[in-house]
A and B are shown apart, each in its own frame.
Chain A
């Protein structure tokens, strides 16, 4: 119980700190939304239009502490106001359009990447020194160290543009309307192959290598030899004795990654025109769209904190040693 309370208190402090950072950082960037917009249009706004924009986006000259208090109270109520880059759409509207796709892509990528990487890690560690062990880690590390952008563009160009195996953009075919029909779900899955596939390809290596190295260490433990001596079946030693202990660091990593899902797979979404939050994140920053930026960063921060809290709590289940500390 004490463990729980101490953790929740700690996370509240962290949440407050990130809220504050979230408020301060965008304001330290040079320029303002109107300057950014003039630049994006390369000066094709007339002076009269610039004047109108300055009035419309009217930045209060209220002292910083007042803005800060207002920001905190609005953030607690979940009210982030109007976006500037999509003026006058509500920030909440923008986020709700894009959130679903980012979550779908993120969850698929994370789950498949984690599962594949972990299982492969267990297998190559078990048969270390085998042919598989000498090929797989190296191969996936090689792919993983490719600049992702380049890999994604290659996939887009060859699989999408030249061979036309997979659609080149969007989360579903434009001709369909979202709904629970086979045609729509099928189209969503087909559109997911390239964006998710490329990310899984580059992320598997990390999970695999992490799992393999802890697994190798665990396999040298006495209790494994003990289990073997007892004559337990191989799969039972592999998964219930070795993997359960070796998975802990990967599991922590998994928790962190869950939180980062909301950050969007920025490059993936841009290369494959996937309608998620990542594109908005980049645009909010380039356009100095403070309201949108704050809402997105806050969401990411809170998601990461929440995911970590959950991992911390699950640790108590997974690793009994934690309970006594």
Chain B
């Protein structure tokens, strides 16, 4: 008998280990906030908002439901806390609204609960004018008190998920509500990029949340918000339904009864559901999309993929000879980026240019001179070899170059296990490097270990993501600023190579203290030029945002011809709640 107990225990142990081994993430389907090319390029990078959200022709109300695949889940657990970081926070971007929404597709700050913002002359005071006549879904009026209360909450409970973090304590002195429809933020250390973060913050009602003992563990079962869909009328383990807010402030909207969220646990299930026409709106990675999805109903099944933050090749500049920008540029010229996007990303997007800025995301910011100067993203192995020769890295008898330490150049290239698209890209890079006389071996550790190695700065080469935001400020700060540098060994969320350019730092600091769009644009042009000259990291391709829409039942979606808003049904947690722009603009057919 004891023998059997031992067997049971060892079985359990095996089960534990087995599960730990399956712990690698499912490939693809990153959640993402998307970007779309603007049809009209705004003249200035940070235009003043217009008076109201896009108004389209009015469409009659129909009592129908929009079926959405917002996140992958096998059963739903009731939780509508917009600060929890849980998956259901996605639905909060339909229930709660911000003062303004930064629309990455048009590079516009769209007025929402606020109608306008204004900086004072020295950028120490930011004033938002709130919209009048907005009501919460329980009929109570929305006022400036709710806004200041929301920021009080974030300040009091640092565990609430938000994008502001230390800005609330380090840069902002106080916030106040001089009257019912005005909110002011007083800065002690000027920081103009805070505008988008403050404007995008989802606002919660004071009269509900003031009675919540601990907002971090509050599951908010019956949310009260200002958004278009707020009423949780059905919540079952497999599906839930949000119905329209009876007090919604946009006249004649929403034009349909509600949204249905079926639980689908994985990409395969979501894709089959999509191909069967059960879903109206999704954001899944679909392999070979023309054949597996569009061909099932070419008139109504559509998709529109764009690129967001660049996926980069990080080469640790603290290892010789990679401290030499010419060596980094030569390596970049040895990479066949077209093969990388065709094989790793099914050719769904185009490769990056040397500025690392996605054309869908930062169109008004891109400096054409910097793009033209960045010839090192063009595939040219011959020139790359010549540059490496010139840098004193001679080829040995076996065709492998000899590094400054006298040993053959051989490095480890990292990508997390199971991230199939990145691994495919690594394989192409490794092939390309053979032609330059550099030996690259692939290493795919489990994602947590990968993160430990990369964040602490102890890697040789790795693929990695990059930071994003409303302006390229965050991208470049995360690539070459002292502000994001951590000592080697300490985990750094960005700037893994610990690269610093003092000149870029100066320009970034200047950028963050001005609200003059013309000055900001010229500063950013210079910063882009520095990035192109230094090549601190090598942009490969913009990380794609998946978005599929079905026009059988609903129309008015963001499309290639009319990209009025980012398409995907989910907003990446670090960006604006863009799904609001879509659900208030589509209509039932």
- A: which residues have CB within 8 A of B? 7, 10-11, 14, 17-18, 21-22, 25, 29-32, 35-53, 55-56, 58, 82-83, 85-89, 93-94, 97-98, 101, 153, 156, 160-161, 168-172, 174, 177-178, 252, 256, 259, 263, 269-271, 273-276, 279-282, 285-286, 288, 297, 300-301, 304-305, 308, 312
B160 interface residue (CB < 8 Å to A): yes
**B276 x A275 contact (CB < 8 A):** no
Give chain A nearest CB distance to B462 CB in angstroms: 12
Q: Enumerate the 6 nearest inter-chain pairs by beta-carbon distance, A residue then B residue, closest first.
A: A31-B448, A48-B165, A43-B465, A56-B159, A279-B74, A46-B574
**B237 x A286 contact (CB < 8 A):** no
Chain B's closest residue to A288 (CB) is B448
**B77 x A312 contact (CB < 8 A):** no
Please indicate the chain B residues that have their CB under 8 angstroms from the CB of A97 in the complex: 75-77, 237
Chain B's closest residue to A94 (CB) is B77
Could you tell me the distance between the alpha carbons of A98 and B77 in the complex, rounded to whole angstroms? 10
Secondary structure dominating the interface of A: helix
Q: A88-B86, A89-B79, A172-B238 are in contact. Are A21 and B22 (CB under 8 A)?
A: no
Beyond A97-B77, A160-B272, A285-B22: 8 further Cβ-contacts under 8 Å? Answer: A7-B1, A44-B309, A44-B468, A48-B167, A52-B158, A88-B79, A172-B238, A285-B19
B543 interface residue (CB < 8 Å to A): yes
Ordered by A's residue number, 17 sampled pairs between the chains whose C-beta atoms are within 8 Å are: A29-B23, A30-B452, A35-B451, A36-B448, A41-B573, A43-B466, A47-B467, A56-B160, A87-B84, A87-B85, A88-B219, A97-B75, A161-B272, A169-B262, A174-B238, A273-B263, A279-B74
Contact for A49 among B5, B161, B167, CB less than 8 A: B161
**A89 x B24 contact (CB < 8 A):** no
Q: A49-B163, A52-B159, A172-B238 are in contact. Are A21 and B16 (CB under 8 A)?
A: yes
Could you tell me the distance between the alpha carbons of A275 and B219 in the complex, rounded to whole angstroms? 21
Chain A's closest residue to B33 (CB) is A44
Could you tell me the distance between the alpha carbons of A86 and B88 in the complex, rounded to whole angstroms? 8
Contact for B238 among A83, A252, A275, CB less than 8 A: A275
Contact for B574 among A18, A25, A44, A178, CB less than 8 A: A44
B449 interface residue (CB < 8 Å to A): yes
**A270 x B85 contact (CB < 8 A):** no
- B: which residues have CB within 8 A of A? 1-2, 4-5, 8-9, 11-13, 15-17, 19-20, 22-25, 30-33, 74-79, 81, 84-87, 158-167, 216-219, 234, 236-239, 260, 262-266, 268-269, 272-273, 275-276, 309, 416, 446-452, 464-469, 474, 493-494, 543, 572-575
**A161 x B448 contact (CB < 8 A):** no
Contact for B161 among A56, A168, A259, CB less than 8 A: A56
Please indicate the chain B residues that have their CB under 8 angstroms from the CB of A39 in the complex: 25, 416, 447-448, 450-451
Contact for A45 among B87, B416, B474, B573, CB less than 8 A: B573
Please indicate the chain A residues that have their CB under 8 angstroms from the CB of B160 in the complex: 52, 56
Secondary structure dominating the interface of B: loop
Contact for A48 among B13, B166, B238, B449, CB less than 8 A: B166
**B159 x A58 contact (CB < 8 A):** yes
Q: A273-B263, A297-B16 are in contact. Are A46 and B163 (CB under 8 A)?
A: yes
Give chain B nearest CB distance to A140 CB in angstroms: 24
**A161 x B262 contact (CB < 8 A):** no
> Which has the most chain A C-beta neighbours within 10 Å: B24, B166, B238, B474?
B238
Please indicate the chain A residues that have their CB under 8 angstroms from the CB of B16 in the complex: 21-22, 25, 297
Give chain B nearest CB distance to A106 CB in angstroms: 15
Could you tell me the distance between the alpha carbons of A319 and B165 in the complex, rounded to whole angstroms? 68
**B451 x A38 contact (CB < 8 A):** yes
Please indicate the chain B residues that have their CB under 8 angstroms from the CB of A172 in the complex: 238
**A275 x B74 contact (CB < 8 A):** yes
**A171 x B74 contact (CB < 8 A):** no
**B81 x A88 contact (CB < 8 A):** yes
Please indicate the chain B residues that have their CB under 8 angstroms from the CB of A32 in the complex: 448
**A35 x B448 contact (CB < 8 A):** yes
Chain B's closest residue to A14 (CB) is B5
Q: A98-B237, A275-B263 are in contact. Are A51 and B30 (CB under 8 A)?
A: no
**B9 x A273 contact (CB < 8 A):** no
Q: A41-B572, A43-B465, A170-B238 are in contact. Are A88 and B451 (CB under 8 A)?
A: no
Q: A269-B74, A285-B23 are in contact. Are A45 and B574 (CB under 8 A)?
A: yes
Contact for A87 among B86, B158, B263, CB less than 8 A: B86
Give chain A nearest CB distance to B291 CB in angstroms: 15
> Which has the most chain B C-beta neighbours within 10 Å: A32, A52, A275?
A52
Could you tell me the distance between the alpha carbons of A281 and B42 in the complex, rounded to whole angstroms? 49
Q: A270-B266, A286-B23, A286-B25 are in contact. Are A55 and B1 (CB under 8 A)?
A: no
Contact for B165 among A43, A44, A47, A153, CB less than 8 A: A47
Please indicate the chain A residues that have their CB under 8 angstroms from the CB of B573 in the complex: 41, 44-46, 49
Give chain B nearest CB distance to A190 CB in angstroms: 14
Could you tell me the distance between the alpha carbons of A54 and B280 in the complex, rounded to whole angstroms? 36
Please indicate the chain A residues that have their CB under 8 angstroms from the CB of B452 in the complex: 30-31, 35
Q: A41-B573, A52-B159 are in contact. Are A31 and B86 (CB under 8 A)?
A: no
> Which has the most chain A C-beta neighbours within 10 Å: B11, B236, B468?
B236
Chain B's closest residue to A93 (CB) is B77
**B238 x A89 contact (CB < 8 A):** no
Please indicate the chain A residues that have their CB under 8 angstroms from the CB of B447 in the complex: 31, 36, 39
**B263 x A170 contact (CB < 8 A):** yes
> Which has the most chain B C-beta neighbours within 10 Å: A40, A98, A263?
A40
Could you tell me the distance between the alpha carbons of A40 and B25 in the complex, rounded to whole angstroms? 7
Could you tell me the distance between the alpha carbons of A82 and B219 in the complex, rounded to whole angstroms? 11
**B30 x A44 contact (CB < 8 A):** yes
